[in-house]
Amino acid sequence: MQMYDLAGADENHRFSPYCWRTRMACAHKGVPLATIPWRFTDKDMLPRGNNGTVPVIVDGDTVIADSWKIAVYLDEHYPDRPLFGCEAARGAALLIKHWTERSLHPLITRMVVRDVWAGLHETDQPYFRETRERRLGKPLEEAVANREETRTRFREALEPLRALLAEQAFVCGRAPAYADYIVFGTLQWPRCVSGFELLDPADPVHAWRQRLLDMYDGLGERAVRHVS
Amino acid sequence: MQMYDLAGADENHRFSPYCWRTRMACAHKGVPLATIPWRFTDKDMLPRGNNGTVPVIVDGDTVIADSWKIAVYLDEHYPDRPLFGCEAARGAALLIKHWTERSLHPLITRMVVRDVWAGLHETDQPYFRETRERRLGKPLEEAVANREETRTRFREALEPLRALLAEQAFVCGRAPAYADYIVFGTLQWPRCVSGFELLDPADPVHAWRQRLLDMYDGLGERAVRHVS
């Protein structure tokens, strides 16, 4: 299986939250995954059936775009070691996905978007700056101007996860599964691009992230980081 | 099975979000449930093994307090028509519970806490006012002073659920299960005590709530409301 994976100036620098979800999902299942570095301005390089973003996986003749659809595909075609477990788990994971993307992503963007830009290949930088500044309505440098304050709000936004971790080791119970990888991917993104540490080392969320970083022979821990 | 259930001045007025979770869970399983009206100041009336709050269920010799523990108990002892489906679903439902209680409950309190007080029995009113005003740090009337503004934030906080409903009918997929009843119970609480409508009728969350109100012979729809 191959995955088109967002890369920075260093082609081994891989930090997309969505690609991290897919990478962890494949490791969970023991499905070997080869990655193809891809950059924002390589739109034409993606196989047919993409929507202009990564991850895109190619499995024989099948092309699947979108990390959520890839997870559903993996459970259908590689049923061992399920990512979801049952329909209700998949349903609830979809709510956790939307919680993650709507409550956590905007706050993370306002802490590290300038660091993301700094790590990109020079061919990607103008595209990234232009599209993100249009979305944010301000220069990247201004968007991250109050990041200590944003971090306080970010840590508050993690409260539901922190409360869960007082009762169990992983979102999915005693062992991690896809709902864990959703939130993990989102935390791996700032960790790979920025020296600005989002989590307090004493936070149970930090310990949970570390447990996931250490899994699958330290797949997450070994990630190349470019932290400015 | 019997459930001690929070009641207002009218003993048929039942509005506790946690008791609604248990009521829907028993209906889901087809387990008949008799309820015993209980008021905040009836602490001594609860059977041994309680923690001073409802719901408490009594099933033969077994007493279980806390709506989450009751749901887990129900799935263990009445395995037909599961509330969770698998361990990962139960894990994810716990995150949804904490999201609901930490993101939605505080906002709902700041819209309807004064209406909750108004519907209580006169023996409960001083206890409720005193404990809630201490928690809120202000009189109940002040806490709900800007509720139109709070409602705007509340509707924003529902965005993850709204995004999910664009893709599937229930949190748990094609049919509801416990994660649905968690959020539903929380919305049934203000609906039973207040004329202040929290949801826009055009909101997909409103349609989802209506589907749940109509289930089990309209168990939720038939609830006694005292809306001031």
Strands A56-59, A34-38: pairing kind: unpaired
Where does residue A154 fall: left (phi above 0), alpha (psi -120 to 50 degrees), or beta otherwise? Answer: alpha
8 Å CB contact between A82 and B81: no
pLDDT at site A155: 98
Give the Cα separation of B213 and A155 in Å (integer): 35
List chain A domain ranges: 2-77, 87-218
Q: How many CA atoms lie within 13 A of A96 on its CB side?
A: 36
Q: What mean pLDDT do residues A201-213 have?
A: 98
Q: What mean pLDDT do residues B103-110 have?
A: 98
B161/A89 CB distance under 8 A: no
Class of domain B87-218: mainly alpha
CA–CA distance from B157 to each of A91, A218, B160 (Å)?
Answer: 19, 35, 7
The pLDDT > 90 percentage for chain A reads 96
Choose the closest CB to B95 out of A86, A91, A171. Answer: A171
What digits encode the pLDDT tens for the residues A59-112? 999 999 999 999 999 999 999 999 999 999 999 999 999 999 999 999 999 999
Q: What mean pLDDT do residues A21-50 have?
A: 95
A177–B contact, CB cutoff 8 A: yes
Q: What is the mean pLDDT of chain A?
A: 97
Which chain B residues are closer than 8 Å to A172 by Cβ? 87-88, 91-92
Q: What tokens does B216 get?
A: 């089990």
Choose the closest CB to B102 out of A85, A94, A160. Answer: A160
Where does residue B85 fall: left (phi above 0), alpha (psi -120 to 50 degrees), or beta otherwise? Answer: left
What digits encode the pLDDT tens for the residues A147-206? 999 999 999 999 999 999 999 999 999 999 999 999 999 999 999 999 999 999 999 999
What digits encode the pLDDT tens for the residues B160-173? 999 999 999 999 99
Query: Residue B218 is which amino acid?
Result: G
Where does residue B124 fall: left (phi above 0), alpha (psi -120 to 50 degrees), or beta otherwise? Answer: alpha
pLDDT at site B99: 98
Q: What is the mean pLDDT of chain B?
A: 97
A214–B contact, CB cutoff 8 A: no
The pLDDT > 70 percentage for chain A reads 100
Q: Treating both helix axes as pointing N-terminal to C-terminal, what angle do A178-193 and A105-119 enclose, rounded to 10 degrees? A: 40
Give the Cα separation of B74 and B80 in Å (integer): 10
* CATH superfamily placement of domain A2-77: Glutaredoxin (3.40.30.10)
A96/B93 CB distance under 8 A: no
B205–A contact, CB cutoff 8 A: no
8 Å CB contact between A140 and A133: yes
A65–B contact, CB cutoff 8 A: no
Give the Cα separation of B183 and B165 in Å (integer): 13
Residue A228 has pLDDT above 80, yes or no: no
Residue B51 has pLDDT above 90, yes or no: no
Q: What tokens does B87 get?
A: 């361990």
Residue B81 has pLDDT above 90, yes or no: yes
Q: What mean pLDDT do residues A122-134 have?
A: 98
- Complex ipTM value: 0.96
Residue holding tokens 């698998």? B86
Count A/B contacts: CB-CB distance under 8 Å. Answer: 113
Residue A47 has pLDDT above 80, yes or no: yes
Residue holding tokens 């002892």? B77
DSSP, residue by residue, B122-184? TTTHHHHHHHHHHHHTS-HHHHTTTHHHHHHHHHHHTHHHHHHHTT-SBTTBSS--HHHHHHH
Nearest to B25 by CA among B107, B93, B87: B93
Strand, helix or coil for residue A28: helix
What digits encode the pLDDT tens for the residues B57-70? 999 999 999 999 99
